[in-house]
Structure 1
Amino acid sequence: MSILDRYIFRTSMVAFLATLLTLTAVIWTTQALREFDLLTAKRQTILVFLAVTSLSIPALITIIAPVAVFIATLYTLNKLNGDSELIVMSAAGLPPKRLLRPFLALTVLASLLVSTMTLWAMPASFRDLRDLLTHIRADFLTKIVKEGQFTTLDAGITFHYREKSGEALLGIFMQDRRDKDKVSTYIAERGQTTESDGVPYLVLEKGSVQADQPGGRSPNIVTFERYAIDLSQFGSDGDVVTYKPRERSTGEILGLDMNDPYVKANAGRFRAELHDRLSAPLYPFAFMALGLAGLGAARTTRQGRGMAIAGAVVAVIALRIAGFAASSLIVRAAWAVPLVYLIPLAGTAIGLVGLLNPGLFQRKSPRVPRAARLQAARG
């Protein structure tokens, strides 16, 4: 890199890191406040609270990093223009495309960061969050639920026990109404939580399971001496623990078993998740190019930059909304997959065209009639 490239890269990198850290911290704080009941209602430690809230950071970085690239680009170009440095470079014969090199270096680094988040860190964090919340529910079941009270463990799941004897719960009643057509009621004399291979279970002893049948038929009642309930199913979509598309690694999504009933039922969601991860690293390039198109050309103090900034912001917002719309569309239609890639690539192309043709997106100064110019000169 030349001295000029290093100067621009350093300025834009500082702005990028400041924006990324600030926005991530602000949004993380709002997310953390929503999980504050972990400390109050569920009586978890501050370490558990920080672990749960911090696992959302990779997903935040995935969205914020391209925006930070855009803001850093606008800030750097506005600073260069405000200090008349862009005008000096233009007068020295440097074309606008000369600005592309330092910003491209910044964008490549940001794209690598987004790739790491989407392809590895984000699915791993969602999976760890799912497992951690499962353990919190198990802990909540044995330590927080009070004797004689009916407590909602999860949407549609009610739990009650008569009293506690040591680590065992006596007089257990639990009803699972998540599936309205398949309501299950568990009754047991005693039960206790245990863990096997990292999966928490509630082991019931001497009880019965009543499963309602559709169509008003008589329910099925099965008695048991010992019955284990997988607590990790709470929060899942069925009786068996199934990781959602966003909780699965990229390798797992690429090697899906299409005979799996869950995969068949959610093939569109898996398709959208995969292509969202692969296309996310393209957005830093699009946002950087649009920022360069808006402010890459030198402007005098009489040429306002407000409209250029506003136009670039509108273009970035429209591009991201189009990307979200395309992601939603490919859940239902496989033919829309190319759109997820074409949208950021089109944004990049438009930005580069605007950079290489500085007058294309600039507002031209109003033409002053010759008579008015002559009168102003005489006056």
Structure 2
Amino acid sequence: MTLLERYILRNAFTAFVSCLVALTGVIWVTQALRELDLLTGKGQTVLIFLTVTGLSLPALISVISPVALFIATLYALNKLNSDSELIVMSAAGMRPLRLMRPFLTLAAFVCLAVGMITVYVMPASFQEMRNLVTKIRADFVATMAKEGQFITLDNGITFHYRERSGDALLGIFMEDQRNKDKVVVYLAERGQTVENNGQAYLVLEKGSIQRKEPNSRDSSIVAFERYAVDLNAFNNEDSTITYKPRERSTTQLIFPDKAETFYQMQPGRFRAELHDRLSSWLYPLAMVAIAFAALGDPRTTRQGRGLSIAAAVVGVIVLRIAGFAASSAVVRTPAAVVAVYGIPLLAIAISLMLILQGATLRSIRAKAGALLGRIAFPSRPSNSQKA
């Protein structure tokens, strides 16, 4: 790579990193604010809060990186043209494909990073986030219950204890209304949470269980000296976590368990998620090609570039909308898989055609200008020729 190409690459890379950090930071803050209930409602530590929100960063980076690369390419090309460097390069005979080489190098790096994140890192982060959130929701006694307060979970569980004595809870009341026809009330003098083989239990002592009979006003009461309640059974999630397609590894999407009930219900979502991951690396390359097709042509300072920038932005928006539409279509029919890969490849092909066509038109204009110049101002014969 020549010194000039390294100079262009350095400008584009600096702009890319700046855009990536800024956009990721802003969007991450908005996502983090949505998880504040981990601190306020579920009583988690700052470390757990940062862990949960940090696990969303790979997904953000994979989405933001192509956009940051597109903005960086527009910025670098516009800066080169504003400083008249693009005009000088073109006048010196630098071809568009050679000028595009630094941007393609940066695009190759981003394509590799996006591909690695979407295929390996992002599914693992989603799966870890699901496990952590499920664990937080399951052990609601340790994370949400507060002394002297009644808490009600979304699934219909109401819990209360009078006071805490060391690790023990005194004066426990718990009502299970998940099934309105079979309401169960637990009363106990004391209790303590115990974890065994990854399962959380609430061990109650000296209490009673009151069960309402279905379709009746009668209820039965059973007294006990010691009773263990499985807290995981009160969670909204199933006891065995069923991971969504985006939370599964790429290998599990390529070779799914076709006997699984969840897969049989929504095979299209597995197919769409797989091809979204495998085609994600094409979008950085497509966005660089669109940006270069719009601003790669050198222009004088009197020629406005606003329309070209607007056209590039519209092109990227259309590209992403078409990509999302193709992904949605794959859920319904396997035939739409062609569109998932064809849309970014078509954008690359059209952009390269415009770039090469522009180079051909500039070459024709240059030759025509030179020919007209020779016709309008023919060279005068020298003194020796006159003699």
How far residue 149 of structure 1 moved from its aligned partner, in angstroms, is 5.1
**351 and 361 in structure 1: CA distance in 2 versus 1, 3 angstrom threshold:** farther
Alignment-derived partner of residue 174 in structure 1: 176
Query: Residues 74 and 295 of structure 1 are in contact (CA less than 8 Å); yes or no, is this contact kept in structure 2?
Result: yes
**276 and 189 in structure 1: CA distance in 2 versus 1, 3 angstrom threshold:** same
Alignment-derived partner of residue 296 in structure 2: 296
How far residue 249 of structure 1 moved from its aligned partner, in angstroms, is 1.3
Alignment-derived partner of residue 250 in structure 1: 250
In 1, Cα distance between the equivalents of 2:181 and 2:348? 53
Alignment-derived partner of residue 260 in structure 2: 260
Query: Residues 20 and 64 of structure 2 are in contact (CA less than 8 Å); yes or no, is this contact kept in structure 1?
Result: yes
**77 and 41 in structure 1: CA distance in 2 versus 1, 3 angstrom threshold:** same
Note the aligned Cα RMSD (angstroms).
3.3
**52 and 305 in structure 1: CA distance in 2 versus 1, 3 angstrom threshold:** same
In 2, Cα distance between the equivalents of 1:12 and 1:94? 18
Alignment-derived partner of residue 202 in structure 1: 201
Q: Which amino acid aligns with 1:11?
A: N
How far residue 65 of structure 1 moved from its aligned partner, in angstroms, is 0.3
- Compute the TM-score of the two structures, normalised by the length of structure 1: 0.82
Alignment-derived partner of residue 144 in structure 1: 144
> What aligned pairs does 1:12-51 form with structure 2 within 5 A after superposition?
12-51=12-51
How far residue 120 of structure 1 moved from its aligned partner, in angstroms, is 1.4
Query: Residues 62 and 118 of structure 2 are in contact (CA less than 8 Å); yes or no, is this contact kept in structure 1?
Result: yes
In 1, Cα distance between the equivalents of 2:216 and 2:276? 45
List gaps (5 residues or longer) in structure 1. Answer: 363-379
Alignment-derived partner of residue 234 in structure 1: 235
In 2, Cα distance between the equivalents of 1:117 and 1:69? 16
**85 and 188 in structure 1: CA distance in 2 versus 1, 3 angstrom threshold:** same
In 1, Cα distance between the equivalents of 2:130 and 2:332? 26
Identity %: 49
- Is 1:63 matched up with 2:79? no
**326 and 235 in structure 1: CA distance in 2 versus 1, 3 angstrom threshold:** farther
How far residue 147 of structure 1 moved from its aligned partner, in angstroms, is 5.7
List gaps (5 residues or longer) in structure 2. Answer: 363-387
Alignment-derived partner of residue 338 in structure 1: 338
How far residue 27 of structure 1 moved from its aligned partner, in angstroms, is 0.8
In 2, Cα distance between the equivalents of 1:272 and 1:78? 37
In 2, Cα distance between the equivalents of 1:359 and 1:184? 77
Residues 350-376 of structure 1, C-alpha deviation per residue, up to 9 Å, x if partnerless? 1111211228999xxxxxxxxxxxxxx
How far residue 139 of structure 1 moved from its aligned partner, in angstroms, is 4.8
Residues 7-48 of structure 1, C-alpha deviation per residue, up to 9 Å, x if partnerless? 111111111111101110111111112222222233322212
Q: Select the structure of larger CA radius of gyration.
A: 2
Aligned to 2:242, what secondary structure does the other structure show?
coil
**25 and 165 in structure 1: CA distance in 2 versus 1, 3 angstrom threshold:** closer
Query: Residues 62 and 114 of structure 1 are in contact (CA less than 8 Å); yes or no, is this contact kept in structure 2?
Result: yes
Aligned length: 352
- Compute the TM-score of the two structures, normalised by the length of structure 2: 0.80
Alignment-derived partner of residue 159 in structure 1: 158
How far residue 235 of structure 1 moved from its aligned partner, in angstroms, is 4.9
Residues 61-90 of structure 1, C-alpha deviation per residue, up to 9 Å, x if partnerless? 011000011011101100111111111111
Alignment-derived partner of residue 114 in structure 1: 114
How far residue 173 of structure 1 moved from its aligned partner, in angstroms, is 1.9
Residues 114-163 of structure 1, C-alpha deviation per residue, up to 9 Å, x if partnerless? 1121111111111111122223224542353246755333x434232454
Query: Residues 192 and 202 of structure 2 are in contact (CA less than 8 Å); yes or no, is this contact kept in structure 1?
Result: yes
Alignment-derived partner of residue 374 in structure 2: none
**147 and 43 in structure 1: CA distance in 2 versus 1, 3 angstrom threshold:** closer
